[in-house]
Structure 1
Amino acid sequence: MRGIEVGFRAFNTIANTITVNYRSILNYFINRSTNASAESFNAKIKAFRSQFRGVRNIEFFLYRLTKLFA
């Protein structure tokens, strides 16, 4: 009986995830839009940040970021 309970818990987790995110899921099928561009931009920021091993001057970092990616 324990294996069945585990299966139901996994199903409940998936059902809850779909319930919470159903608008985003449906938006993909309606408009074919994703957040891939935002994820790509975040990856570029992380790569830029790692290139300098941390940021000490936030103002200069944001300035450089806008010059490179804006």
Structure 2
Amino acid sequence: KSREKWTESQNIRAGIVFQEYPDLEVAYNLSDKLRKIYNQNITKSVAMLKLAHWFKDVEESGFKSFSILKNTITNHYNDILNYFDERSTNASAESFNAKIKNFRMQLRGVRDKAFFLFRLSKIFA
């Protein structure tokens, strides 16, 4: 949840927690900065610049979990940046794929592929 959406009591509690555990504040700020990159209506070139700054912040923080995330983003950099062109994701395709896997699991495997595809098209089409 971004700081702007915190209630007064959440703000007070966060202040106490961040004072006692400064690493939590650094981790929160890193995750919030990444969230804001995606929530802002920015162009691809601006997103590239902001991600580069975020990468630098991650390296300076020394958090292993954020370094792993940074490496994942780096490995899929162009695909991830395509989000900023049309602001669309492949979430619907992933959801449909999960439904197919669940359907296949309920049937405990598929022997007749043609019949499976027929049933799939009748149920989900």
Q: Scaled by the length of structure 1, what TM-score is found?
A: 0.68
2:87 to 25, 32, 39: 32
Partner of 2:36: none
Deviates further, 44-53 or 19-28: 19-28
Q: How many residues align?
A: 63
Q: Distance in 1 between matches of 2:84 and 2:113?
A: 39
Aligned-residue CA RMSD (Å): 2.1
Aligned partner letter, 2:116: F
Q: Distance in 1 between matches of 2:72 and 2:95?
A: 24
Gaps of 5+ in 1: 1-6
Give the deviation of 1:23 after TM superposition: 2.0
Structure with the bigger RCO (C-alpha within 8 Å, sep 6+) is 2
Which secondary structure state, in structure 1, belongs to the residue aligned with residue 76 of structure 2?
A: helix
2:96 to 38, 41, 48: 41
Gaps of 5+ in 2: 1-61
Q: Percent identity?
A: 67
Give the deviation of 1:25 after TM superposition: 1.2
Q: Scaled by the length of structure 2, what TM-score is found?
A: 0.42
Give the deviation of 1:16 after TM superposition: 5.7
